[in-house]
Amino acid sequence: MHEPLTRLRRSVLFVPASNEKALKKSAALACDAVIFDLEDAVASEEKAEARERLRAFLSGPGRPQCEVVIRINTLSGEWGTEDLLAARAVKPDAILLPKVDGPRDILDAGAALDETDAPRSLSLWAMMETPRSLLNAGPIAELGRDPAARLACLVAGTNDLVKETGIAPGPGRTNLLPWLMQLVLAARAGNLTVLDGVSNDFRELEAFARECAEARGMGFDGKTLIHPAQIASANAAFAPTKEEVEEAKAIVAEFAKPENRFRGVVSLNGRMVERLHLEMAEGLLAKAKQIKEKGE
Ligand code: COA
Ligand code: MG
């Protein structure tokens, strides 16, 4: 399985910027990243107040140590530009753009950040949640190859996709799968991380664990979450298993033998193992190490 060496993004929790209690709680949670939301989780009447609350919170001592992302409103709408400037001022790791339709949306946001002399380390993430975003997934993801474009991560916006297309997701999200798989493919083409959409039924933890396991099998790096109760499942599902770690170590050990030094392919427990498997094993072990270093 593909394991890009990047920041861990197994569990990425949405926290509404309008919810003071949730903001305070966010620093104590074991998620890999937090997305502070100024968009759909905040009512129109509360936009300005939520923006100010978030600014104050992230400038204070309660700011989480994990990766901090801020989802702003669309730049073409009433609040987006002020959101972007406020976000820029509190130095998040990334700004998440909602309702991206095509590469132009990423380029415009990048240009707006360049105008503020934002450091290159400030990334853009893209919500992939409109029909156009899915049709344009290739050209959008291609921007991941250009560091000047800042694009680092694609996020499946499954609730909006359901709304915009009129589909019923179906049991096991059957009807969404082709689009989700397309998104994973696009992300890999652009060297981006890719996160699965949220699961709305936050009390159904068994079904959630299954959905996480499926998402990992589909190639997602992690899952976006709406509730703290979902964090543990996502962290477990998107981490290498003990068996995978053992197998990866065995592959590394096999290729490290002097007699295999110049061999492209070896046999291990009745299976053909190539150097591409060695690369995968090394990636998996690096990820396991990152998780261990996090204290898990
Ligand atoms: N982030 C941080 N803390 C959260 C949280 C979140 N996303 N969701 C719930 N909590 C906190 C609650 O504030 C509560 O804290 P307390 O124990 O100090 O009172 C605790 O976790 C338990 O919450 P619970 O009562 O089970 O849920 P709720 O009814 O308060 O909230 C939701 C349910 C769905 C409204 C809430 O989880 C939420 O707003 N999620 C994020 C929604 C969002 O951002 N959507 C946009 C992207 S899809
Ligand atoms: Mg949305």
Q: Last residue of some domain: 221, 237, 253? A: 237
> Residue 125: its pLDDT value, please?
98
> Could you tell me if 47 and 160 lie in one domain?
yes
Give residue 129 CA to ligand 2 midpoint distance, Å.
6
Rounded mean pLDDT of 150-157?
Answer: 98
Mean pLDDT score across all residues of the chain:
96
Chain segment 217-237, per-residue pLDDT in tens: 999 999 999 999 999 999 999
**Ligand number, closest to the Cα atom of 199:** 1
Q: Domain range holding 209?
A: 3-237
> Could you tell me if 15 and 148 lie in one domain?
yes
Rounded mean pLDDT of 144-161?
Answer: 98
Hey, whose CA ends up nearest to atom 30 of ligand 1?
Answer: 22
> Residue 5: its pLDDT value, please?
52
Rounded mean pLDDT of 278-289?
Answer: 97
**Ligand number, closest to the Cα atom of 35:** 1
**Ligand number, closest to the Cα atom of 164:** 2
- The count of domains in the chain is 2
Rounded mean pLDDT of 194-217?
Answer: 98
> Residue 208: its pLDDT value, please?
98
Helix H or strand E segment including 193: strand 193-196
Give residue 266 CA to ligand 2 midpoint distance, Å.
47
> Could you tell me if 259 and 127 lie in one domain?
no
Ligand 1 surroundings by CB, under 6 angstroms: 13-16, 21-22, 25-26, 37, 40-41, 198, 202, 226-228
Give residue 286 CA to ligand 1 midpoint distance, Å.
33
Q: How confident is the model at residue 2 (pLDDT cuts 50, 70, 90)?
A: very low
Contacts of 8 (CB under 8 A, 6+ apart): 32, 222, 287, 290, 291, 294
Q: Last residue of some domain: 237, 253, 276? A: 237
> Could you tell me if 158 and 211 lie in one domain?
yes
> Could you tell me if 259 and 112 lie in one domain?
no
Token pair 């901090």: residue? 68
Is residue 113 scored above 50 in pLDDT? yes
Q: Mutation test of ligand 1: which of 24, 25, 202 has the most ligand atoms closer than 8 Å to its C-beta?
A: 25
Give the percent of the chain with pLDDT over 70. Answer: 98
Neighbours of ion ligand 2 (CB under 5 A): 129, 157, 160
What Rg do the C-alpha atoms of the chain give, in angstroms? Answer: 20
Is residue 3 scored above 90 in pLDDT? no
Q: Mutation test of ligand 1: which of 13, 18, 19, 200 has the most ligand atoms closer than 8 Å to its C-beta?
A: 19
Q: How far is CA 115 from CA 89, 120, 143, 180, in A?
A: 13, 12, 19, 34
Chain segment 63-111, per-residue pLDDT in tens: 999 999 999 999 999 999 999 999 999 999 999 999 999 999 999 999 9
Give the percent of the chain with pLDDT over 90. Answer: 97
